[in-house]
Amino acid sequence: MARVDIVIPLYNKAHCVGRAIRSIVQQTVTDWRLIVVDDGSTDNGGEVVGAFADDRIELLKQSNQGPGAARNTGIAAATSKYIAFLDADDEWYPWYLENALKAIEQNDVALVATMYHEWPKKTDMTAYWAKRGVHPGRYSLTGNESPAWTDWLLSYLHVGTTVMLTETARKYDGYYAENRCMLGEDTTFFLRVGINEAFLVLGPAGVRHHREQSGLSNIANRPVPPFLDEPEIVLRYCPADKRDLMVGVIDHMALRTAKARARNGFKTEAVGLLKRFPGVNHFPAEYRRCLVTIALSGVMPYWVRFKCTVGPPVRLFVKSIAWKLGLQPKIPEIGTESGKTRS
């Protein structure tokens, strides 16, 4: 039995799944099994996986059912004590598994989540999360926390950055997979786990998250997360003393989603979310900013497009200057440097 099972859901990612698998093969930990679940791909992704002559890699095939169902197939097939998840368009630095497994084995937690770099912006997201109160360390929610901060903490948990106990993944029924859910199936899962279980946030960044190849996450009018349509899919997993906290978390997520919709010009959807979640009034400053964004929703999409067009190359240019002058550490290449755990 391997020390850890790794699950990759695969759907039409032939152009990048090889990169993800190579990052696993390059891990300093070698005692792993990779379960790739081909979720009805119509490209040659399965052939790319099969080209790796490594008996630690197993390819399972099923009809197209969505990413949550594909990950759940991997969870069902897992036999190791620990399970890790990686999407076919992301990749790990060589030290990722070593750091994560060491942390989960030496601490009383059900889950460890590692900081990451966002691509193609070449941004270390550690500072981004620190501004929202998420720092390396151990977390165990009591129910008395601020809903806004708890929203950010639980939103930090991400598919490609987590290693957890396999029994924990099964305990909360895996990823949301109803109605071939295509977006938010992972957030639903991590809300269920994070409200109940202790977890550890690790540094330094050990994952490269490729947003440019993330499909629906880059679409302006993408579906809302399923728990905003049906909060009970999360709330029924909450113990009584944490239910009020989770209600507040979902209200805050609805407020953030409404603002994002308004920024992209979808005023009707934004207003509808505010009406369905009256608890958004509990965040007065953010609520007022959302109302202003809704009022300007007719022009906001032009501003957003301008920022998305001009901002990334300008930020990357500034970073390149900072790297050359030694003012900021350069992000390592995959497979060339190692990182030490900070928790």
What percent of the chain shows pLDDT beyond 70? 87
Residue 137 token pair? 């360390």
pLDDT grade for 305, boundaries at 50, 70 and 90: low
Q: Are 68 and 39 in contact (CB under 8 A)?
A: no
Residue 289: predicted pLDDT: 96
Q: What is the mean pLDDT of residues 1-20?
A: 97
Q: How far apart are CA 118 and CA 97, in angstroms?
A: 18
Q: How far apart are CA 130 and CA 290, in angstroms?
A: 23
Residue 338 token pair? 């190692």
Q: How far apart are CA 261 and CA 268, in angstroms?
A: 9
Q: With a threshold of 0.85, does the pTM exceed it?
A: yes
pLDDT tens per residue across span 124-145: 999 999 999 999 999 999 999 9
Tally of CA atoms within 13 A in the half-sphere of 216 that contains its CB: 12
CA dihedral 293, 210, 122, 133 (to 10 degrees): 60
Q: Which of 10, 168, 199, 200 is nearest to 90 (CA)?
A: 10
Q: How far apart are CA 71 and CA 85, in angstroms?
A: 8
pLDDT tens per residue across span 80-107: 999 999 999 999 999 999 999 999 999 9
Q: Residue 180 region, left (φ>0) first, then alpha (ψ -120 to 50), else beta?
A: left
Hey, how many other C-beta atoms are within 10 angstroms of the C-beta on 91?
A: 25
